[in-house]
Amino acid sequence: MFHDRDLTPELVEWKDTIRQVAVDSGLDFFEVLFEMVDYDEMNMIAAYGGFPVRYPHWRWGMQFEELQKQYSYGMAKIYELVINNDPCYAYLMRCNPLVDQKLVMSHVYGHSDFFKNNAWFGKTDRKMVDTISNHAVRINRYIDEHGKDVVEQFIDVCLSVENLIDIHSPYFSQKENVTEEQRAKERQEAQGTRIPTRSYMEDFINPPDVIEQEKQEILNKIEQTERFPQDPQKDVLLFLLHHGRLQSWQRDVLSIVRDEAYYFAPQGMTKIMNEGWASFWHSRIMTGGILDASELIDYADHHAGTMGGGSGKLNPYKLGIELFRDIERRWNTGQYGSEWESCEDVHGRNDWDLGHNKGLEKIYSVRSTHNDITFIDEFMTEDFAVRQNLYTYKFDRSQSQYVMESRDFRDVKNRLLDQLANSGRPQIEVTDGNYGNRGELLLEHHWTGTPLKMDYARRTLENLEKLWGRPVHLKTQIENKVKILGYNGSRHEERNES
Amino acid sequence: MRKIDPDANRFRKIVRGKIRENLKQYVSQGELIARQGKKSVSVPLPQIDLPNFRFGQTDQGGVGQGEGDEGDPLGAEQAEPGPEAGDQPGEHVLEVDVNLEELAEILGEELELPNIEPRGSSSILVEKDKYTGITRNGPESLRHFRRTFKQALRRQISSGSYSKENPVVTPHREDRRYRSWNTSKVPQSNAVILYMMDVSGSMGNEQKEIVRIESFWLDTWLRSQYENLETRYIIHDAKAKVVDAHTFFHIRESGGTKISSAYNLARDLIQKEFSPEEWNIYLFHFSDGDNWGGDDTTHCLDLLNNELLPAVNVFCYGQVKSAYGSGQFIKDLRQAYQEHEKVLLSEINSRDEILPSIKTFLGKGH
């Protein structure tokens, strides 16, 4: 698939036109290959996370059924689907009218530019289409060797902890941990005492299980000698890869799951920016000459559909595009810097225009360097929050429903940032890989005030135990008390911190 | 075949496994009944998603956008705003649509129910139309393009007007061919279930709920076994009458119990509407086992022996335990029909005994 597929000549022409407009606007993107698909294929590809081939797993089937159901009930329809890859792959739905196809193409060029230039995507695999199909090949091989059920169950185990990665780790080189390496070497060299003998006597003189047992004893000793990891390790998956008691195929499956998790992580960190940026550009490109007058109503309808939160939802597309527009306006008029900040005259502020015209330049630089958290933190101003009618809400137990809580700017911003922190997931790190000096694993939940969902946490611990091979523990808080949960392969326990 | 089909099948298989695993719970809680659509049931499957470390508090709130004042309630649609916002209070549980046939299959597998060999099935024939033929006349919507062009080509070649250099084939009016149907007779198996329930004062809500749950599963299974399944509902205290399903499950009467009244009505119904030659007839009777007196019970046994049992596939009596019932009736039946192959008796003391009871009723494959 190195060309557009199934595109009508008309669409090929439009693609070239839109591409040229995008280039002229300064967008710098990976070339985009469009493929025309019907809704069945679209749902299938979407279920695969945008890729044409994935390893066999039931959850794709589950997502597919969900999408098919939603589509057939008319509840949801996938408009655009684009993958971060060089070249970028994007899909167009066959049944869409021309105006939608043009909108989607313009939108996709925005995404492609974002993938290529945003720093958080800088370390992602740009040949992921190939990599992911390699993953499928590898996993299929393990299925042939070990059986479908065994491999699938192990994948389930890995997926259960796939979010325990350190989304920042690709940006600094791992500290050279000499002792770590030495120990790895010792571990590799560890073996039982072997008495030289003739090969046909080998199994009798040196029974493999005894050798193995001895080797394990040495390994245990090595593990007990030192405390590790030396610093808390956020990349729990990497730690498990290095130190978990896994067979080699299991290690490989775990590394596949980890690679894919790292590939998808930046998309979670930049949802608001990425969609905002793509929407900003589809809007600008479409209304900048691509749109035919007869298509205006349909375009406006669909654009509003994507931007609409309906009934007060906070829509990442909407928040993103408005924030980019606001930045562009502020830097065009010079509404930034200390002079602007210190101006308290209402009229002065309203008419403030220094004619800087640096808006476009600024948003281009913002799209390169920020992620959602820093984007909101730096550019969401009080004016903006007021103009956009933002508020926080909470669940009111007495009324059994959600009610508006506050329109205070600081509340809104803090709540938003809280939700975005660590992509809305609890931060969990390895603090001790030799807990209790018994080679057990201790994880710590970095406490931010929100408790974990306990039944899930216990089931996740069960899976962690399978990866670690020894009892695992999690330090967290339950009802304001520090507790250590444990699972030893057959039983759960819960105790206070000693 | 689509690429994703193996994954989708795998998923269905896991779903089936989970339902089977938890069948007892689904049955005793009766929650599937409320989720029944026309052809499928939406089954909640809490444990199918992959566990991970996540925040437990579902009411942490979030950020929204729009008009309104502090303290205003948000509409129902706003329940899930924000990037990682709180869900509905309670939990969003994965629900999977399972069609009734599949559910019946799962029930059958779990209880090891034999397939039913329909009685007298070959004697009942129904006409079915199938589009297997071709005619020269018909509506344009049924035009068979390939045949039409083939015919035109054949005509052109035989008349010499076809040339290889310019291979244009133009069908004329007389070349047109249309699809048409042939009527064939296929055997059909009909079945009718006659549910009878004691609604006298001693049958409480819990008893009726048990009957309701049990009849849902009986229905589901029998429906999967017959192409055409009818149901009739009879309630009785001292008198019996035919009612619709809703009334059957919700009515609450008081007064004494005369079981023979129901059996009389069942007999009349069978005579009038469901001739035993054409129908497989299933009689289910649920009661707490309290009858008016020995006389009526004798009358019941007469009716069963002489009129009902010869006509039906099977007569099933389920006795639900109630605080007031003496539970005598099942003992009388037991005495009268110790090993009668058409009479199946079961006592249902609690919801947990629904599943074994179904097994008793359907386990023989009549």
What's the rounded Cα separation, in Å, for the pair B303 and B182? 46
Q: Does B131 touch chain A (CB under 8 A)?
A: no
* Same-domain pairing of A31 and A98: yes
Q: Which of B74, B93, B98 to mutate to test the interface with A (most CBs of A within 10 A)?
A: B74
Matching residue, tokens 């890859």: A85
* Same-domain pairing of A441 and A472: yes
What's the rounded Cα separation, in Å, for the pair B365 and A381? 73
* Residues near B110 by beta carbon (within 8 Å), at least 6 away in sequence: B20, B23
What pLDDT score was predicted for residue B91? 42
The residue extents of the domains of chain B are 1-49+91-112, 129-185, 190-362
SS3 call for A93? strand
Listed as ranges, residues in chain A with pLDDT below 50 are 1, 176
* Same-domain pairing of A398 and A479: no
What's the rounded Cα separation, in Å, for the pair A50 and A412? 33
Q: How far is B15 from chain A (nearest CA, A)?
A: 10
Matching residue, tokens 């090929």: A12
Q: How far is A402 from chain B (nearest CA, A)?
A: 5
* Residues near A428 by beta carbon (within 8 Å), at least 6 away in sequence: A164, A236, A443, A444, A445, A446, A474, B53
The encoded tokens of residue A12 equal 């090929």
* Same-domain pairing of A391 and A349: yes
Cβ pairs bridging A and B (under 8 Å): 208
* Same-domain pairing of A30 and A87: yes
What pLDDT score was predicted for residue A1? 46
Question: Can you give the residue range of the structural domain that contains A83?
Answer: 9-118+270-304
Q: Does B87 touch chain A (CB under 8 A)?
A: no
The 10s digit of each residue's pLDDT in B332-350 is 888 888 778 888 899 998 8
SS3 call for A444? strand
Instruction: Please report residues of A whose CB lies closer than 8 A to that of B81.
Output: 309, 312-314, 393
Closest CA to A44 of A74, A73, A65, A69: A65
Closest CA to A406 of A420, A421, A386: A386
Mean pLDDT of B257-286: 88
The 10s digit of each residue's pLDDT in B132-191 is 888 888 888 899 999 999 999 999 999 888 888 888 888 988 899 999 988 887 767 788
* Same-domain pairing of A389 and A487: no
In a domain, A162, yes or no: no
What pLDDT score was predicted for residue B34? 65
What pLDDT score was predicted for residue B84? 33
The encoded tokens of residue B326 equal 């003496």
* Same-domain pairing of A432 and A412: no
Q: Which of A422, A456, A480 is the last residue of a domain?
A: A422
In a domain, A280, yes or no: yes
Phi, psi of A386 (to 5 degrees): -70, -45
Instruction: Please report residues of B whose CB lies closer than 8 A to that of A405.
Output: 61, 70
Q: Which of A403, A422, A441 is the last residue of a domain?
A: A422
For domain B190-362, the question of CATH label 3.90.1150.10 is answered with no
Check pLDDT > 50 for residue B88.
no
* Same-domain pairing of A415 and A313: yes
Q: How far is B34 from chain A (nearest CA, A)?
A: 20
The encoded tokens of residue B97 equal 């649509």
In a domain, A201, yes or no: no
Q: What's the total number of domains in chain A? A: 3
Q: Does B37 touch chain A (CB under 8 A)?
A: no
Q: Which of B39, B50, B58, B96 to mutate to test the interface with A (most CBs of A within 10 A)?
A: B50
In a domain, A374, yes or no: yes
Maximum distance among all Cα pairs of chain B, rounded to whole angstroms: 97
Phi, psi of A100 (to 5 degrees): -70, -40
What pLDDT score was predicted for residue B77? 44
What's the rounded Cα separation, in Å, for the pair B146 and B256? 72
Check: CB of residue A78 under 8 Å from CB of residue A42. Answer: yes
In a domain, A367, yes or no: yes
SS3 call for B363? coil
Helices A98-117/A296-307 angle, 10° precision: 50
In a domain, A254, yes or no: no
H/E element, A28: none
In a domain, A112, yes or no: yes
Q: How far is B137 from chain A (nearest CA, A)?
A: 34
Phi, psi of B177 (to 5 degrees): -125, 145
* Residues near A283 by beta carbon (within 8 Å), at least 6 away in sequence: A303, A321
The encoded tokens of residue A126 equal 């740009």
What's the rounded Cα separation, in Å, for the pair A53 and A457? 31
* Residues near A71 by beta carbon (within 8 Å), at least 6 away in sequence: A39, A43, A77, A78
What's the rounded Cα separation, in Å, for the pair A313 and A315? 6
What pLDDT score was predicted for residue A113? 97
What's the rounded Cα separation, in Å, for the pair A19 and A31? 9
Check: CB of residue A161 under 8 Å from CB of residue A121. Answer: no
The encoded tokens of residue A400 equal 């059994």
Write out the DSSP string of B297-343.
HHHHHHHIIIIIHHH-SEEEEEEE--SS---HHHHHHHHHTTT-TTE
Check: CB of residue B148 under 8 Å from CB of residue B176. Answer: yes
* Same-domain pairing of A319 and A294: no
β-pairing, A88-93 vs A81-83, is antiparallel
What pLDDT score was predicted for residue A348? 82
Partner-chain contact B61 A420, CB within 8 Å: no
In a domain, A145, yes or no: no
* Same-domain pairing of A331 and A409: yes
List the single residue in A61, A62, A403 with the smallest CB-CB distance to B71.
A403
The encoded tokens of residue B253 equal 């009467």
* Same-domain pairing of A25 and A102: yes
Instruction: Please report residues of B whose CB lies closer than 8 A to that of A311.
Output: 66, 74-75, 77-78
H/E element, A38: none
* Same-domain pairing of A384 and A441: no
Q: Which of A391, A422, A453 is the last residue of a domain?
A: A422
Between A76 and B93, name the one with better pLDDT.
A76
Closest CA to B233 of B203, B261, B262, B273: B262
Q: How far is B16 from chain A (nearest CA, A)?
A: 13
